[in-house]
Amino acid sequence: MLGPMSSDRPVKNVLFIMCDQLRWDAISGNGLDIIDTPNIDRLAARGVRYQRAFVQGAVCGSSRMSFYTGRYVLSHGTRWNRIPLAINQMTLGDHLRPLGVRTVLIGKTHMTADVEAMNRLGLDPDAPENLFLAQGGFEATERDDGLHPDRPGVHDLPYNRFLRDHGFEGDNPWHSAANSVRDEHGNLISGWLLRASPYPSIVPDELSETAYLTDRAIEFMRSAGETRWCAHLSFIKPHWPYVVSEPYHQLVAADEIPPPRRSEAELHHHHPVLRAFQESRVGWAFRSERARNSVYPAYLGLVKQIDDHLGRLFDEMATMGRLDDTMIVFTSDHGDYLGDHWLGDKDWLHEEAIRVPMIVVDPRAEASATRGTSSSDLVEAIDLVPTFIEAMGGDPADGEPWLEGHSLVPSLHQGAEIGRRGAVCETDYGFLEMSERLAPSSRARDRRATMLRTQRYKYILSETGPNLLYDLDEDPEEFHDRIDDPGLATVRSELHEQLFEWFRARAHDTTYRDATMARLAAPGGMARVGILIGYWDEAELAAGVAGELY
Amino acid sequence: MLGPMSSDRPVKNVLFIMCDQLRWDAISGNGLDIIDTPNIDRLAARGVRYQRAFVQGAVCGSSRMSFYTGRYVLSHGTRWNRIPLAINQMTLGDHLRPLGVRTVLIGKTHMTADVEAMNRLGLDPDAPENLFLAQGGFEATERDDGLHPDRPGVHDLPYNRFLRDHGFEGDNPWHSAANSVRDEHGNLISGWLLRASPYPSIVPDELSETAYLTDRAIEFMRSAGETRWCAHLSFIKPHWPYVVSEPYHQLVAADEIPPPRRSEAELHHHHPVLRAFQESRVGWAFRSERARNSVYPAYLGLVKQIDDHLGRLFDEMATMGRLDDTMIVFTSDHGDYLGDHWLGDKDWLHEEAIRVPMIVVDPRAEASATRGTSSSDLVEAIDLVPTFIEAMGGDPADGEPWLEGHSLVPSLHQGAEIGRRGAVCETDYGFLEMSERLAPSSRARDRRATMLRTQRYKYILSETGPNLLYDLDEDPEEFHDRIDDPGLATVRSELHEQLFEWFRARAHDTTYRDATMARLAAPGGMARVGILIGYWDEAELAAGVAGELY
């Protein structure tokens, strides 16, 4: 077995593990501590646990495109699920390819190809040579977006074929077996319904989607040979449908779940968007004890199941020697309210929804000093692309102007702080049913909010209704909106201005690099290419070309 | 000859005439009135003269990409000359193609293709099928960017071949003949040098670039047949090199030019960017009477020359019947300081630099009532693409989310006001020689300013140094920066907030339409496609799918 890598060598591979809808506090050591996740802890013991990591978008699609492009939602433009990633955007795969690295997908991306632009440019979205482009820069070893509703039609998913090979019949055993249950009377209940969660999934654990994707990851690593890779193992769970295989469905009892984190003050908050979220179907559903008692135990069971399968994966990696040459990241695309703040699902900007676990293991000797530490630096999802580039031997500066995050390698090696002034997360409620009712006179695309989260404050600029302000030192649970607090007037306007600066600093203009500008701006640079502006005569020109005159 | 078109017919063609570097006040009726431009006046008599029209970028490249995409510079990303237009951007040509309209280029675009992205997408920039894409959505009938410095190499320009056919030898007669002069001793002087301007260009008027491009436009119209077209006749002049053929070089005497529009207060303004512009080569050059006396008469001669050739063009169009079925626009990509405000060339945000002539003729009967009127509505360059779409029978709403301007057709037909709260123009000095010296610690790409121009005020948000504020009612010449005036504190913060709203409203997310959102957000919409969030049981689900429950 190899020892830790020597100091000037890049890591050979990256394993980029993502859960879907995993709250920051659901794994051990992060708050709830209802279940143990020893295998995730085992990762954390070898790496750094970033405890203030925030996603950039509040739903799968927008958040993931930030993870995969290293860019804010405002910059990549995929503001919600099913919104195509614009054809011009550079992805992780585009950045790693020049380093000779395969980027491999095992699981979910929620990426939608920009077919309209592909058609306009004469690029066939189905042609094999365009697959990388149509799949968000991943070689789609095993693509599964994990959202296969019960509708008539073809469900041509490898996991469905796998389940059928194991005797689960039908068009879509993803739904009818893996995401359905039978109650005590043998009646079939769809796992989409909240009342299904206390029952075990029809498929056993070893055939669950979590087990299946883990198997595919192991299989990939065994067959990968000497080619360097960045493998994105992207679990579907603990995202809804909230059902889990035996025995995970009964690991946690209904009376062991935490009480809802919510206050009466929140329920009476006048903010139209907050109220609409509270009154939405899912908000209303999770207000009830019934839903929480049904779903929360299954949710934690799904997390425990992931941890167990990760244990299996890490053991296999140890055997293969892959723990020694592979950077491992464990994170999630967003959280889940589960009834906190009188809300369900996600889409809004409380910590429960947009703060995620973020554990990074750098196997190299330089990271020895930081192993097992945790950091309260403000980290963003967009930091991962530059981290991977640097860890794999590239220069994140080559990603300019695309990349908007910071490599975590200096933090992993020297404990250096990024020193980010604030983390930003964007949300769009224009796609939700509440939207039309809430802001009928606005353009659908203006139904948005942008959060700026500093170490102390959270400021939310809401395009509908007033802005919001929380002091997280005094009110870590975000029960009290302080936007009208005269004592915080200066803070409020400073955060507003900081957010304006953030908007102005976005790199929408991606077709040139700072170096291009510097070359044009060099003294005498224009004159040297024959563009002569403001020279009276030949003598001035000669001096100008020589760079002597300004 | 056809009469005016009947009320529900679209115009057949569009003639989109652009000058380069033509100040708003240089044509007759707009302020200076030193030369007459009767042919432009003839246009204005048939159309509407928009007297408060502003470009969106302060140099050719950025301004033109706004004209050609209907988008602000922040949105299309081409912030300066020679910056590629990102491959995903939709152009005028893309919008008009579905209407069966050819978009034809005769002259300058200053468009640079996004070759890096084309290579990444496997699109050959030189392949004939990609020419439309590589030329900014124009069929490049006659492309001439009019900037052909005197450098060794191939100058394979049709105009150069034309000049060689007429006996002007050399690699690059564009420079050595059309843009060079001989002094009284027969010595050759490059037209790039300011001292050359009082002498006539070596080529006679009928072989000048202005005559040549006009000829090509006439030739195109004669050969166009029945296909509908949008022809962009894009003159190189009065842009530098400031030399003009006989007799235009001596139409205006040095003592007839207007005095410089500048104040001592401006010269002592502490603003670092203003000072750097004043102290730049071209600012310094135009501070002198020598440069103004030499250049200004030639500049006005170039304008007069354009007007004469337009007269010839309009006569030809009348003969062909094209005046009756063709919308005609006359405008410019930006202005020219010519010594005003102690500045030369352009790049900054005074009216001299960013306010342009804008005359629109709609030949249809519906526009009869507005013919010969002028409008003080705030108009932007980005209004032209939607205007052309509507005039040609399309629906500008189909251009959503790309188009950020407003069609002028309601204004042309009913005199309706757009009612824009403010016009925006952006500038980047990061590409200029002054840039490094001025703001060495900033990222090159942060060396920017954004102007908001309301009917009364001009607010400039400068990323280097303080912001600027002018009250144009009290100070139409923009001599007095009022940013520190306590009496304008409220105005200042309102304009600042208005500009922040403008930044937030930009459509960077262009891969979906409002209609897509509305469909997803329809009551029960998600449930109908099988995505069931927050339903307890089958009864709730049935009600939800029926849209009965929220």
In a 3-state reduction of DSSP, which class is residue B358? strand
Closest CA to A65 of B174, B491, B511, B102: B511
Nearest CB to A514; choose among B79, B443, B522: B443
Residue ranges in A253-407 assigned as alpha helix (H)? 264-267, 272-279, 281-287, 289-320, 351-354, 384-391
* pLDDT for the residue A8: 62
Residue with tokens 């001596």: B250
* Residues of chain B with C-beta less than 8 angstroms from the C-beta of A518: 436, 444
Instruction: Place B522 in a pLDDT band, splitting at 50, 70 and 90.
Output: confident
DSSP string, B161-214: HHHHHTT--SS-HIIIIITEEE-TT--EEETTSGGGTTSPBSS-GGGSHHHHHH
Higher pLDDT among residues B369 and A515, named by residue: B369
**Rounded Cα gap, residues B185 and B207, in angstroms:** 23
Nearest CB to B193; choose among A344, A444, A536: A536
Nearest CB to A240; choose among B121, B433, B533: B533
Chain B: residue whose CA lies nearest to A289:
B536
* pLDDT for the residue B548: 61
- The pLDDT of residue B441 is above 90: no
**Rounded Cα gap, residues B330 and B18, in angstroms:** 6
- B141-159 pLDDT tens trace: 788 888 888 887 777 899 9
Beta carbons within 10 angstroms of residue B168's beta carbon: 18
Closest CA to A479 of A304, A323, A264, A289: A264
Instruction: Place B6 in a pLDDT band, splitting at 50, 70 and 90.
Output: very low
Give the domains, in start order, of chain A with CATH numbers: 13-504 (3.40.720.10), 514-545 (no CATH)
* pLDDT for the residue A39: 98
No. of helices (H) and no. of strands (E), chain B: 21, 15
Query: For residue A275, what are the CA distances in angstroms to A268, A279, A434, B48, B161?
Result: 8, 6, 10, 49, 70
Chain-centre distance for alpha carbon A490: 32
* pLDDT for the residue B8: 62
Q: Do A193 and B532 touch (CB under 8 A)?
A: yes
* pLDDT for the residue A441: 72
For residues B276-284, average pLDDT: 93
* Residues of chain B with C-beta less than 8 angstroms from the C-beta of A284: 534
Residues A406 and A364 sit within 8 Å (Cβ to Cβ)? no
Nearest CB to A504; choose among B193, B503, B532: B503
For residues A53-74, average pLDDT: 98
Give the range among A476-480, B127-131, B168-172, B217-221 with minimum mean pLDDT. B127-131
Distance from CA of B180 to the nearest CA of A (A): 13
Interface test with A, best of B190, B512, B516 (most A CBs within 10 A): B512
* pLDDT for the residue A547: 66
Q: Do B538 and A193 touch (CB under 8 A)?
A: yes
Query: For residue A97, what are the CA distances in angstroms to A36, A104, A157, A220, A513?
Result: 38, 11, 27, 18, 20
Query: For residue A410, what are the CA distances in angstroms to A6, A52, B380?
Result: 16, 17, 47
- The pLDDT of residue A1 is above 80: no
Higher pLDDT among residues A432 and B472, named by residue: B472
Structure tokens at B173: 């007669």
As a whole number, the mean pLDDT across chain B is 93
Chain-centre distance for alpha carbon A248: 25
**Rounded Cα gap, residues B84 and B510, in angstroms:** 18
* pLDDT for the residue A6: 40
Task: For chain B, give the percent of residues with pLDDT over 90.
Answer: 83
Residues B319 and B374 sit within 8 Å (Cβ to Cβ)? no
Nearest CB to A114; choose among B435, B511, B529: B511
Which residues, at least 6 apart from A223, have a Cβ–Cβ distance to it below 8 Å?
none
Task: For chain A, give the percent of residues with pLDDT over 70.
Answer: 98
Higher pLDDT among residues A142 and A40, named by residue: A40
For the question of an ipTM over 0.85, the answer is yes
**Rounded Cα gap, residues B293 and B194, in angstroms:** 10
Higher pLDDT among residues B515 and A90, named by residue: A90
**Rounded Cα gap, residues A346 and A349, in angstroms:** 8
Task: For chain B, give the percent of residues with pLDDT over 70.
Answer: 98
Give me the total of CB pairs closer than 8 Å, taking one residue from chain A and one from chain B.
255
- B88-103 pLDDT tens trace: 999 999 999 999 999 9
Distance from CA of A509 to the nearest CA of B (A): 4
Q: Do A511 and B77 touch (CB under 8 A)?
A: yes
* pLDDT for the residue B3: 39
**Rounded Cα gap, residues B544 and B546, in angstroms:** 5
Interface test with A, best of B433, B464, B535 (most A CBs within 10 A): B433
Instruction: Place A339 in a pLDDT band, splitting at 50, 70 and 90.
Output: very high
Beta carbons within 10 angstroms of residue B107's beta carbon: 28
* Residues of chain A with C-beta less than 8 angstroms from the C-beta of B437: 550
- The pLDDT of residue B244 is above 90: yes
- The pLDDT of residue A485 is above 80: yes
* Residues of chain B with C-beta less than 8 angstroms from the C-beta of A511: 77-78, 83-86, 114, 116-117
- The pLDDT of residue B527 is above 50: yes
Higher pLDDT among residues A289 and B131, named by residue: A289
* pLDDT for the residue B124: 94
Residue with tokens 């998600």: B526
Which residues, at least 6 apart from B518, have a Cβ–Cβ distance to it below 8 Å?
A436, A444
* pLDDT for the residue A11: 98
**Rounded Cα gap, residues A338 and A291, in angstroms:** 9
For residues A209-216, average pLDDT: 98
- The pLDDT of residue A214 is above 90: yes
**Rounded Cα gap, residues B213 and B223, in angstroms:** 15
Interface test with B, best of A532, A538, A548 (most B CBs within 10 A): A532
For residues A87-114, average pLDDT: 96
- A491-548 pLDDT tens trace: 999 999 999 999 999 988 999 988 888 877 877 778 888 889 999 999 998 887 776 6
**Rounded Cα gap, residues B57 and B273, in angstroms:** 17
- The pLDDT of residue B2 is above 60: no
Query: For residue B35, what are the CA distances in angstroms to B25, B248, B251, B261, B494?
Result: 11, 11, 8, 18, 41
Q: B345: which DSSP letter?
A: S
- A10-28 pLDDT tens trace: 999 999 999 999 999 999 9
* Phi, then psi, of B164 in degrees rounded to 5: -65, -40
For residues B231-247, average pLDDT: 98
- The pLDDT of residue B53 is above 80: yes
* pLDDT for the residue B515: 82
For residues B110-128, average pLDDT: 93
Record the pTM.
0.95
Structure tokens at A450: 């942008």
Distance from CA of B295 to the nearest CA of A (A): 10
Chain-centre distance for alpha carbon B400: 21
For residues A24-45, average pLDDT: 96
Nearest CB to B431; choose among A500, A517, A544: A517
Q: Do A514 and B117 touch (CB under 8 A)?
A: no
Residues B327 and B13 sit within 8 Å (Cβ to Cβ)? yes
Whether the link from the prior residue into A241 is cis, omega within 30° of 0, is: yes
* pLDDT for the residue A517: 81
**Amino acid in position A249:** H
Q: Do B87 and A121 touch (CB under 8 A)?
A: yes
